[in-house]
Amino acid sequence: MFKAAWGVDWGQMRDSIPLLYREAGESGSVAGVDYETVQLDHGTSGCTGYRLRIDGRLLAYSGDTSATPPLDRLVEGAEIAIVEATGPGEPFSHLGWEQAEALRDRHPNTRFIWVHVYAGTVEGAAADLQVLDV
């Protein structure tokens, strides 16, 4: 069992919280939040992006993905988009900074929050464990 330095047994904690795992469909509603999914490109495995309608606002979340047309479909019309911006250049199966900037330029009415930054800094990136007011 893994115990953190502050004495929390994460295995025991996980077992004590009633969790229900559901595979997301193309669209649906969970806990009052309507969602749509968009299949994105991430190497050979792909990944799923989510468009969440929360309090009348549209939030897009990509996770790891490449700069391909499905990413633009995910972000289209979103007020806020949480998208990775891994690093400079064109990292394999991830979004590079230049590609992230081009995505932002194509969607000027969307506020982007960049995550999964592995090296250096990029304007608009969220720091680990940072709480953002959106």
pLDDT in tens, 6-60: 455 656 666 777 777 778 889 999 889 999 999 998 888 889 999 999 999 999 9
Which uninterrupted H or E stretch holds 104?
A: helix 97-106
Q: Is the dihedral of CA 73, 74, 76, 77 positive or negative?
A: positive
**What is the CATH code for 23-115?**
3.60.15.10
Sequence spans of domains, the chain: 23-115
**2, pLDDT greater than 50:** no
pLDDT for the residue 44: 83
86: confidence class by pLDDT, cuts 50, 70, 90: confident
pTM of the model: 0.77
Task: Give all strands (DSSP E) within 13-130, no chain letters.
Answer: 27-30, 33-40, 47-54, 57-61, 80-84, 111-115
**1, pLDDT greater than 50:** no
Looking at every residue in the chain, the average pLDDT score rounds to 83
